[in-house]
A and B are shown apart, each in its own frame.
Chain A
């Protein structure tokens, strides 16, 4: 597990992180961007690029935001899995 995008991205999806990611591991879903945990090389390029401070190392995710670790990881099963995980995280 490496870097994670949390709730601040929802509705923002600025995509600055996508531009700086050297391995193109950031994927766009309908409501937010997510980081593929197996493709992320842990380089930290995206973290300072985010205008809304949505990105942090998984270990540094605020307790209230920890559900977003699973939301990001769901990209391993595809975009629909992310949408479902996000619904669950938001209690919808």
Chain B
């Protein structure tokens, strides 16, 4: 950057509030009328048992689980890679999978995929420290995102390139059919049904519009695109005016050429200097993001800049967030190179190819995960997995099967950040491990729906729990007791 003149590559004298780009968040769209598209015949690209829509964490777990439960599986993904936000979104910090005692409660696909990453592609606390409250290890791992409150956790940082590659090779080796570069745009209604069954989905690609017929569908879009596209009710904090809870959006970024050991030594050895650096940077930029150590100590990740007030269901908002995030990346690089120890030779490694979205829509399910349930430590009789709780004050959080089953559709399962929860519970159920958890259960259940033709609500939950345990998931024995 050239001095304090940020306009040298924007041609403007301001970084923000660029009125020309897009309407402000919340501003009504202009009504420019419509165009008419004629009806058409759409070629069928594929017929399968289970169609998984979306190849993010939930979709990958769902596809593998459905395949291992015996189904033919096709996974459609709009980007050129698998892993979704955990790779393309640079959410390379895989949040806690251990509970407060150090037991890995989010296991199954989560454990398998991380175990398959090569040495050097995962950086996290060693197993014998999980749950430790020893001040030394806690202090060490907190700085490396492997400690939460006063406990060492299994919450590693991963190399997104290896996770992309290992995810795809694992799925392909097990016989999942991958369709990349393809965006599912609409569900297909099953003509025989009463509106409660889907016959598959339509996707668009360089080959135009095509259909995939399927006996069961997993909506792993993160945004509930399939279920919402079927015209049934859903919950949203950003659409429909039902809530004014804000959910930040951002494009994360990574830098290379850094010396994170020097940075961490500076933070630990000179706290006053660190506070002064962050204060001065905040004053100069009007905001400041902190860097975190990544999977190796010459790379760092910035998990912001979290921008509130935008909707990830609105392309103008999404465009604004992309522009704004990258501008902030550039000005941060300037400040950090100038005055942050360890950042003198930093360079831009990657700004995330996928936008960091936390929430758009949530499923209206047969059951809704609520704060009241996990504060009381409820163990659901239809438990499909267990999430660590947000505080040591609370027991592990039981994830019910009903939260991944749509209330209004019979042969659709949902896995990912859009499962049926209240907004507060979604704040942790949206994390990558939880998406692996609900995705794995959704895939296994979809295979059962495909095999029997019965509605998802009538799946034999005991058989599903057994299948998930067979696949390495953690489902408590107590959850077998009748309700």
Given A22-B375, A23-B393, A44–B306 Cβ distance below 8 Å?
Answer: no
CB closest residue in chain A, given B148: A38
Check A57–B375 contact: CB distance below 8 A: no
Point out the residues of chain A lying under 8 angstroms from B390, CB to CB. 22-23, 41
Shortest beta-carbon distance from B394 to chain A in Å: 8
Shortest beta-carbon distance from B450 to chain A in Å: 35
- Stretch of B159-167, B240-248, B292-300, B335-343 with 4 or more beta carbons under 8 angstroms from chain A: B240-248
- Number of chain B residues whose Cβ lies closer than 8 Å to a Cβ of chain A: 28
Q: Does A63 contact B (CB under 8 A)?
A: yes
Check B371–A41 contact: CB distance below 8 A: no
Q: Does B291 contact A (CB under 8 A)?
A: no
Q: Does A80 contact B (CB under 8 A)?
A: no
The 8 A CB mask of B231-268 against A (1 = contact, 0 = none) is 00000010000011111100000000000000000000
Contact among B243, B305, B306, B428 with A41 in the assembled complex (CB-CB below 8 Å): B428
CB closest residue in chain A, given B304: A59
The 8 A CB mask of A51-81 against B (1 = contact, 0 = none) is 0000011011001001000000000000000
Q: Does B455 contact A (CB under 8 A)?
A: no
Q: Does B308 contact A (CB under 8 A)?
A: yes
Q: Which of A41, A59, A60, A66: most chain B CB closer than 10 A?
A: A59
Check B286–A45 contact: CB distance below 8 A: no
Q: Does B149 contact A (CB under 8 A)?
A: yes
Contact among A24, A45, A48, A59 with B308 in the assembled complex (CB-CB below 8 Å): A59
Contact among A38, A39, A42, A48 with B427 in the assembled complex (CB-CB below 8 Å): A42
Contact among B244, B245, B393, B423 with A24 in the assembled complex (CB-CB below 8 Å): B393
Interface residues of B in 257-283 (CB under 8 A from A): 282
Check B243–A48 contact: CB distance below 8 A: yes
A-B residue pairs in contact (CB < 8 Å), sample of 8: A22-B390, A41-B424, A44-B247, A44-B424, A47-B244, A47-B246, A48-B244, A59-B308
